Amino acid sequence: MEVTLNGYYTLILATLVLLLGRFLVKKVKFLEDFNIPEPVAGGLVAAVIVYALNIIWGYSFIFQQELQTACMLMFFASIGLSADFGRLKAGGTPLLIFTAVVSLFIVVQDIVGVSMATLLGLDPLLGLVTGSIALTGGHGTAGAWGLTLEEQYGVVGATTLGIAVATYGLVAGGVIGGPVARRLINKLGVEPEPVNPNPSETEKLASKQSLYSTKHNEEDAYRNKEIFEKPDNIRLITASSTIESLALFAAALAFADFMTVIGKDTWFDLPTFVWALAGGVIIRNVLTTVFDFHMFDRAIDVIGNASLSLFLAMALLSLKLWQLTDLAGPVLIILMVQTLVMVLYVYFVTFRIMGKDYDSAVLSAGHCGFGMGATPTAIANMQAVTDRYLASPKAFLIVPMVGAFFVDIVNATVLQIFVNLPFM
């Protein structure tokens, strides 16, 4: 029996899923420790309930697709509107080098995914889902590309698989980052910072001042950029800044719709969400560079974060877990191989190319985080390392900038090339 829910009920259920996720993350330590996003925590529980209703009573639910699509496009537009290429100056050459290292890994990740999927008798496009779509891309990219693969390429269960793989990646990225960095640091001979059991008041004050300075340097470099997994962080926005930002979103979405129509059946026939991201990048950098326009980053963050949370909640409500039954074994093998490749890459490539020093080891921990999971996982990995050893302002400057938006731009480009290859 199919139950169709209109936009109102879809939105109500999505918000309930988000509230459930917030409750679970606060109460379950595992979810908090591994930075599992609230929409994912609540959404997976909802997906299991929907699965049980289907198995026991035969119910299936159809949710309002247009609302989900709109939220997805808003999220990708927010990434583009946040991608200020002027910030490249703050990171300098190391930022460019790290972006190149990460970009090469995206290609490696997709080659491994497609090769393993083909070897195991799966659709090569599912190899992309177990590659950079879900691992480097995370839940947002997994949901967006999942819909595209299902609707345009007929890949059954792509969204369900992508969400599952992205969740695995969050955990795996958090598990491997610290041990890899510690092994690299031990090779360098760097000792952990000694802990003074009875610090003087002067030492306490100096420590607080150092922490304050480091945090504020990072914030200045990153302009208080936030990610959706931290929805409770306060951002000071106004009604006027929100309206102006919504106008920018509208322009990016209009650009995406226009380019999707004129690009149909041509060499630049791209998914609409890729054009939304590209539109945001163009609008942002033209306005700030040519017209010296002040962008309201906080408002863009809030709108983008809310859109992504709602999109994920609706995507997870729509999951059909029964579609994963036959894929479980082969997918697990691919994910084990991907995890090993991630470890070897950061150990022999990221660490060496970034300078073979302490900062490189911390960057390697961060790369494990967003190469398998998401930017918050990368930050948590680096914090675990620097709390034990030394501070690394360089790593905390570079990783958020690359992980938050530059990697999404590169990933979208690489994936578009892969899906158009003759053997796919």
Work out the number of other CB atoms within 10 angstroms of the CB of residue 239: 8
Written as six digits, the tokens of 161 are 């698989």
Find out whether 167 and 40 touch, Cβ atoms under 8 Å.
yes
How far is it, in rounded angstroms, from Cα 238 to Cα 342? 42
Find out whether 349 and 100 touch, Cβ atoms under 8 Å.
no
Give the DSSP letter of residue 267: T
Domain ranges in the chain are 2-193+200-419
Find out whether 59 and 1 touch, Cβ atoms under 8 Å.
yes
Can you give 123-170 as a three-state secondary structure string? CHHHHHHHHHHCCCCHHHHHHHHHHHHHHHHCCCCHHHHHHHHHHHHH
Residues 6 or more apart in contact with residue 313 via CB below 8 angstroms: 13, 14, 15, 17, 18, 21, 39, 42, 43, 46
How far is it, in rounded angstroms, from Cα 256 to Cα 22? 32
- 0.85 exceeded by the pTM? no
Written as six digits, the tokens of 229 are 């997994």
Find out whether 134 and 166 touch, Cβ atoms under 8 Å.
yes
How far is it, in rounded angstroms, from Cα 363 to Cα 211? 19
The pLDDT assigned to 222 comes to 40
Written as six digits, the tokens of 22 are 């917030």
The pLDDT assigned to 48 comes to 86
Find out whether 14 and 317 touch, Cβ atoms under 8 Å.
yes
The pLDDT assigned to 125 comes to 93
Written as six digits, the tokens of 35 are 């930075």
Task: Name the residue type at position 79.
Answer: I
Mean pLDDT by 10 residues, the chain (424 residues): 82 92 86 72 85 83 84 86 73 86 95 95 93 89 87 86 87 86 87 55 43 40 42 68 92 93 76 86 89 85 86 80 75 94 96 93 92 80 82 82 79 89 78
Can you give 181-239 as a three-state secondary structure string? HHHHHHHHCCCCCCCCCCCCHHHHHHHHHHHHHHHHHHHHHHCCCCCCCCCCCCCCCCH
Residues 6 or more apart in contact with residue 259 via CB below 8 angstroms: 268, 270, 275, 278, 279
* Residue 120 CB-density burial (10 A; 0-12 exposed, 13-18 middle, 19+ buried): middle
Give the DSSP H/E element, type plus range, for residue 381. helix 375-388
Give the DSSP letter of residue 223: T
The pLDDT assigned to 138 comes to 83
The pLDDT assigned to 90 comes to 63
Q: 3-state class of 329 per DSSP?
A: helix
Find out whether 122 and 330 touch, Cβ atoms under 8 Å.
yes
Written as six digits, the tokens of 40 are 């994912």
How far is it, in rounded angstroms, from Cα 337 to Cα 23? 34
Find out whether 346 and 371 touch, Cβ atoms under 8 Å.
yes
Give the DSSP letter of residue 294: P
128: left (phi over 0), alpha (psi -120 to 50) or beta: alpha
How far is it, in rounded angstroms, from Cα 135 to Cα 355? 25
The pLDDT assigned to 404 comes to 66
Chain centroid offset of residue 281 CA: 17
Chain centroid offset of residue 376 CA: 9
| Among the listed residues 379, 371, 396, 242, the one whose alpha carbon sits nearest the alpha carbon of residue 304 | 242
Find out whether 43 and 316 touch, Cβ atoms under 8 Å.
yes
Find out whether 159 and 321 touch, Cβ atoms under 8 Å.
no
Q: How far are the Cα atoms of 13, 15, 151, 350 from residue 21, in angstroms, in the given order?
A: 12, 10, 28, 34
How far is it, in rounded angstroms, from Cα 11 to Cα 381? 34
How far is it, in rounded angstroms, from Cα 174 to Cα 170? 6
Q: Which residues pair with 2 in a beta bridge?
A: 60
How far is it, in rounded angstroms, from Cα 59 to Cα 56? 8
